[in-house]
Amino acid sequence: MARQSSHRPDADKPDTATVDPEPTDDESVPAAEDADATPRAGTGDRTLWESVRIDPVSLALPDGVGYTLRAYRPANEVTPTDVSGRDDEDPFEARAAQAAEEDDEAVVILDEEFAKALEEEEAEARVEEARDKRDDDTRADSDGDEEQPASTEEIPVFLSHRGRLLLFKTPESLVNFVRSGAANDLSQVDTWKELVERLEPIHINPLPEDDYELDLVVENLRGGHDAWDPTLLIKAGEIARDLAYALRLPSVLEMLAPGSSLDDLDEALRATVNGGFAGFIGRRRLKKIGAQTASLGWRTIIGKISSVVDWRD
């Protein structure tokens, strides 16, 4: 799950530097401000987060602003969150069961010629499968007993429990929860123990790219094409996809899936950011996307995400 970070170029600097005059005896020299007294977003020591490969996240929703944690790990190293306690049936399991039932009940009538061709194709497939297995065994013998991971695709894991995102209103409350030993989905990652031992409130200081303002999305879209904020909307799509995947919200994934109107909006916005001819095409594509449709779609997404948030003081 790649994340986009926005960078604003520094303002033009003057060619010559100005030197402050030495203070006279009548002038008092102001005390230097303690830069570390109040951490700002994106500042501070990142040693802990780089070590544990987990990041603090700030998420603004219509109900307020809170902090949580997010990590990316290979899919074969984590267990999906348990949503069996939800009122509605788990849609992932329901779809799998429905597909299996349809396969069992399917009745296919084949003519003799097609049936013969199918048998020959299956026989060839079995021969090919046996050949592949023999080759795999040969490679395994040459490489030793080391096993290769089933999947190295990294997926998002949040500080969540039973399909609900744990969102904390203060850094202190988040740290107290982490230290409490309470059950959560993030505790399965390999560096969780180190995080528990080292985490302090001052560490809960998200980088700008990990600061998401979903509460501003709908209003921004309602302002019309000329008012749309690409950085705000692109980041909203990224966190919404991560949350939908981690919290098992298939309806949100479908609304943001490739080919959907909101995915078209995302691609067009990214093109405008890239500039050049692609940016020109992106701006033309944006004109074809209805502001009302986009705002209604995002209002639905934000509502679904908000419904699975567990606010903690």
Q: Quick one: 310 exposed, middle or buried, by C-beta within 10 A (0-12, 13-18, 19+)?
A: middle
Distance CA 184, CA 177 (A): 10
Asked whether the predicted pLDDT for residue 39 surpasses 80, the reply is no
> What pLDDT, in 10s, does the model give residues 185-228?
999 999 999 999 999 999 999 999 999 999 999 999 999 988 99
Contact 236, 214 (CB under 8 A): yes
DSSP character at residue 202: G
Beta-strand relationship, 309-312 and 160-161: unpaired
- Domain positions in the chain are 47-96+152-312
Q: Lowest-confidence range among 182-186, 202-206, 279-283?
A: 279-283
Q: What's the pLDDT score for residue 3? A: 41
Q: What token pair was written down for 64?
A: 């307020």
Q: What's the pLDDT score for residue 89? A: 42
Q: What's the pLDDT score for residue 280? A: 80
Distance CA 271, CA 248 (A): 29
